[in-house]
Structure 1
Amino acid sequence: MCVVGATVGKLNLSIDCAIGRSVAAVRPRIGLNTKYLYFILMPFTLRLRSGSRGSAQGVIGKAELSAIKIRVPSGSEQSHIVAKVDELMVLCDRLEEQQQDRRKLQNALRQSTLQALASAESPHELQESWQRLQTHFGRLFSEPGDVRDFKGLVLDLAVNGRLLPPSSAPALAADLIDQIARARVAWADVAEEQEKKEAVAMLKKLRTQHATVPNAALPDHWCWASLLQVSQAVVDCHNKTAPYVEEGIHLVRTTDIRDGRMDLTNTRKISEETYAYWARRMPPKAGDIFFTREAPMGEAAIVPDGQRVCLGQRSMLIRLFPELFSNRYLLYVIQSPSFQSRMIEAAIGMTVKHLRVGGVEDLMIPVPPRDEQNQIVQIVDRLFELCDHHAEGIGRSLRVAANLAGATVAALTGIAVGADEEPPLKAPQTELIAPLRLGTLPDVKDQAPLATLLARHQGEMSARDLWQRFGGEIDAFYVQLKTEVEHGWIEDPSYELGPNAPKGPRTYPDGVLVAKMKIKQEA
């Protein structure tokens, strides 16, 4: 039985093996059927996992385990019970297998339908594929996550001009690129001080840039252009950790940008003095795009109105001429699977893929005329609204089904079980604020579960997220963290927080090193 962490309460019949950490072994005394004991313990573990028995800390102690009371019928009745449960379990396994087979068929059908839509070569084929998708939409999408594939297809079709009606006399995208180039020269003529330096640097980079044009076909009046060519300026961040303050200006880190949105609810804050230095090259303004080039790579979001924000590490600022190029259209391009594929090909790094500044500037963008950019944004917005509405309906249906199943189990057994509930982990009294980053990639044989998790998640994660994925007690997490930092598998997250930061090492209970890290002490 697992007795610690996110898997607390899970149990299985043992084989010839040793007991690992966070696991307890229960051996029945003579006369008690092992499989009967296994089955009879299940209701207890279900209560534990649903939070009705001491699972708030995500741990079950030996005393609690020893105190479990079970009903023990005669040996023959135990055998009959085990036989009946085995018989019913076979039916459950068969049902689960049928559901899995159905899911595989559904995934294959959805992928083939979407592929047919993506590869349509004529308006007639495109119309037929759309009709087929619309007719079978309910059969193709049965989970909220399924809709993500469809959104990706919508973006690819949109940014390749395949969702727009044909135009008799379209404007030329090449003329738009010329307009942007002239606007950039005019900006350089009137800019002053630091802005002048950025404008001149942009012109110099463009004169020497040699970007590779993709082979993908575009409408005849569209063209390919680099991110540098469509922008007024592309500016890298100040790649150092800023000193934080309690209240101040939002420092937008890569973890604050997800799925095209900038989340300002949990940002770190910096002072006016820090902002003046960190944003000295180009203070962000509403409408700018923040683009992450590492940890994770390829996320983007638009700076909202009425907010003062600053670029965090591993991110870049993209400023457009808004009257010439739509930031919403560019955001959709960045989110499209085709752009993400080109970006991954351009990335470097053996363990954690990332983009150089020049690699970001060279990324290629499909460029339509300005009015078509607006049309594309409107079409995508409308289709995404329909997708979100359908995803919400799927979510409601799944919740109804889960509630019905839970009510049925409760009626039959008296055990209230939530759908997919995991027992909450014990919150630490002190919390490590510093982000954790992958150091030297450990060998397969090394006992480095935390570094392994970081490697799977772009090489960086907040301490809280890493602890929750680790699944163990907070004390065990910090012990393991110290070990992996000492081996160099995880970078030492120590850093100075400013003139008032503590200079000496701090310790977590049991002597775990938390040197120079910002500590949030709960009341």
Structure 2
Amino acid sequence: MKSGAGRRSNSVIDLYGLTKLRELIQRFAIQGKLTQQYESDGNGPRPTNLERKKRNTDDQPLAFTAPKNWTEAKFGDFFTLEYGDNLPAKARSQSGEFPVFGSNGVVGTHHSACVFNPCVVVGRKGSAGAVNLSLSEGCWVTDVAYSCVPPQGVDIQYCIVLFSTLGLSKLGKGIKPGLNRNDAYALSIAVPPLSEQKRIVAKVNELMGLCDELERQTQDSIKAHQTLVETCLAALVNSETPEALRENWSRLEDHFDILFTSEESVDRLERTILELGASGRLVPQSEEEDSELFLQRIRSNKDKLIKAKRAIKPKKLPKLEEKHIPQKLPRGWIHCRLQDLLMTMDAGWSPNCPVDPSPNDETWGVLKTTAVQSLEYRQYENKVLPDRLSPKEQYEVKAGDVLITRAGPRNRVAICCSVEGTRPRLMISDKIIRFSVVETEVSPRFIALSLNVGNAADYLESMKSGMASSQMNISQDKLKGAPIILPPLVEQEKIMIKVDELLTACKNLRGAIPKANKLRSLIADQLTSNINLSNAP
């Protein structure tokens, strides 16, 4: 039987309903609600294990009223769960005659068998309660599972339907869940006549096939939705004029409720907003500022700061590759390297600290790399500095600093934010690079935006190095070479105001997703769990 699975977020919720539908079909099946009963079928089979005396004190009565010709009994009256035999992984192969079963399916093959009939395999340890089917005349069931050969009068395919509805996985106990077979033996069941068992299996397979088709259609719908989102956002990014952008945005805004219904789609929308902001397409360009005069003013201010020993001297940088040089700039914008805008740049200190955060503003802490998110500074992501160590106050983070992650997994390197405000006594770690910019001409927030997306982000991605994708880094010198396109300060501030406005709208969209998903899950649960079967015809 196929279980529901799907992509994260909204797609999971779409398929969650299918999972509940499959569960409902199986529950209806083992209660006799999917097929017609016939007197000619006779009665259900007789139990074969009535001599089994050991019972769990938590015996539960049958949870439904079974048809009159079904046999009511305990699971252990019909079925025996036999322990599997140990078979080390090195003894298994991929070319043996017999399948080898672990706690949740086939884990290899072997040249001999320990079970010599078709059987149901039930997970004992690990995937406790998982149900699998072996139709071969022999198999090897390892010691983390049980085997069950159905008695005469019980169809093995019906066993799969029945076992799947008993909640065996919920009987597993311990840190590494283990299923005690005596707990399973105490479960109450009802078994129909063999001919009805076969009709039930046929009906379940028919309905599960329809579920499979519905799942395929759902997956196709999810893919089509993703394509639609990507196409609409691409139209925004490729808008050639402000007028075209406004028109495309208006068209998109009218359909927010159907386009952005998953975490992934909102992530993509946020990314598009940042790209539009960093490339100068969110607000009108300045009519007054001359780009050459703007660039000369930045250089003049930077020279004065260098002479006053308040700014670092620029280094000779490698020439930019052609792919990192913008082909066209918005009116009034300039192209430069990050070091042209810098006053200071350093990295911090990473002493051995407890995992606990600094408890208050009077206690020093060291920022973790997770304190730096895309355009978001999280001061609470820190570790407390041990009492035995003295703080290095030169690394204390201040408002106006720009932070960028220097080392970590590839997807966490070169993440950038500005610090608009912070509590005192927090130091940067040596995995965080900090810099400041010439604030008379440059907004720290706009620089953080520029480094997170677009041309600068592509450059930084190409500059990452390391032995593995889980251990990457980027140097200060490579960071200094990042290409920046920059509008006048007034326009930078207007862009960030617009970005904030749009990201707030995205936050509201994102906040609505869990509520909608929870409601859909609740509806699915209610529809499948509160159906009264006792009065069904």
TM-score range with shorter-chain normalisation? Answer: 0.5 to 0.7
Look up the match of 1:372.
Answer: 491
Look up the match of 2:158.
Answer: 36
Greater shift in the superposed pair: 284-293 or 68-77: 68-77
Q: As a proportion of its length, which structure holds more helix?
A: 1
Whether the 8 Å contact between 1:256 and 1:267 is mirrored in structure 2 is yes
SS at match of 2:492: helix
Bigger radius of gyration, 1 or 2? 2
In 1, Cα distance between equivalents of 2:484 and 2:375: 17
Write out per-residue CA displacement over residues 99-153 of structure 1, whole angstroms, 9 at most, x where no aligned residue. 1111111111221121122112233432332233223333322212211111111
Look up the match of 1:13.
Answer: 133
Look up the match of 1:440.
Answer: none
**2:460 paired with 1:347:** no
Match of 2:404 among 269, 291, 301: 291
Match of 1:270 among 369, 376, 385: 385
The code of the aligned residue for 1:61 comes to L
Distance 1:170 1:382, change over 3 A: same
Whether the 8 Å contact between 1:177 and 1:230 is mirrored in structure 2 is no
Residue 74 of structure 1 and its aligned partner are, at CA, apart by 2.8
In 2, Cα distance between equivalents of 1:20 and 1:126: 63
Matches within 5 A, 1:237-276: 237-238=348-349, 241-244=351-354, 248-265=363-380, 267-271=382-386, 274=389, 276=391
Look up the match of 2:32.
Answer: none
The code of the aligned residue for 1:226 comes to R
Whether the 8 Å contact between 2:279 and 2:454 is mirrored in structure 1 is no
Write out per-residue CA displacement over residues 252-293 of structure 1, whole angstroms, 9 at most, x where no aligned residue. 12233334333344521115874644x54x542123122112
Match of 1:358 among 462, 477, 489: 477
Greater shift in the superposed pair: 6-15 or 286-295: 6-15
Matches within 5 A, 1:293-308: 293-295=406-408, 296-303=412-419, 304-308=421-425
What is the aligned-residue RMSD (CA, Å)?
3.2
In 2, Cα distance between equivalents of 1:144 and 1:10: 31
Look up the match of 2:39.
Answer: none
Whether the 8 Å contact between 2:466 and 2:473 is mirrored in structure 1 is yes
The code of the aligned residue for 2:372 comes to I
Write out per-residue CA displacement over residues 150-196 of structure 1, whole angstroms, 9 at most, x where no aligned residue. 11111111111111124332353x545544444444444555xxxx7
Percent identical pairs in the alignment equals 23
Q: As a proportion of its length, which structure holds more strand?
A: 2
Distance 1:329 1:133, change over 3 A: same
Look up the match of 1:472.
Answer: none
Look up the match of 2:145.
Answer: 24
* TM-score, scaled to structure 1: 0.67
Gaps of at least 5 residues in structure 2 are 1-102, 105-122
Whether the 8 Å contact between 1:234 and 1:316 is mirrored in structure 2 is yes
The code of the aligned residue for 1:318 comes to F
Match of 2:438 among 303, 318, 321: 321
Structure with more contact order per residue of length (Cα contacts < 8 Å, sep ≥ 6):
1
Distance 1:381 1:73, change over 3 A: same
SS at match of 1:225: strand
Look up the match of 2:428.
Answer: 311
Gaps of at least 5 residues in structure 1 are 415-523
Distance 1:20 1:104, change over 3 A: farther
Residue 46 of structure 1 and its aligned partner are, at CA, apart by 8.1
Look up the match of 2:330.
Answer: 219
In 1, Cα distance between equivalents of 2:402 and 2:446: 11
Look up the match of 1:101.
Answer: 220
SS at match of 1:139: helix
Whether the 8 Å contact between 2:379 and 2:422 is mirrored in structure 1 is no
Residue 401 of structure 1 and its aligned partner are, at CA, apart by 0.6
Matches within 5 A, 1:392-407: 392-407=511-526
In 2, Cα distance between equivalents of 1:7 and 1:231: 56
In 2, Cα distance between equivalents of 1:145 and 1:8: 33
Matches within 5 A, 1:72-83: 72-83=191-202
Distance 1:168 1:221, change over 3 A: closer
In 2, Cα distance between equivalents of 1:368 and 1:385: 23
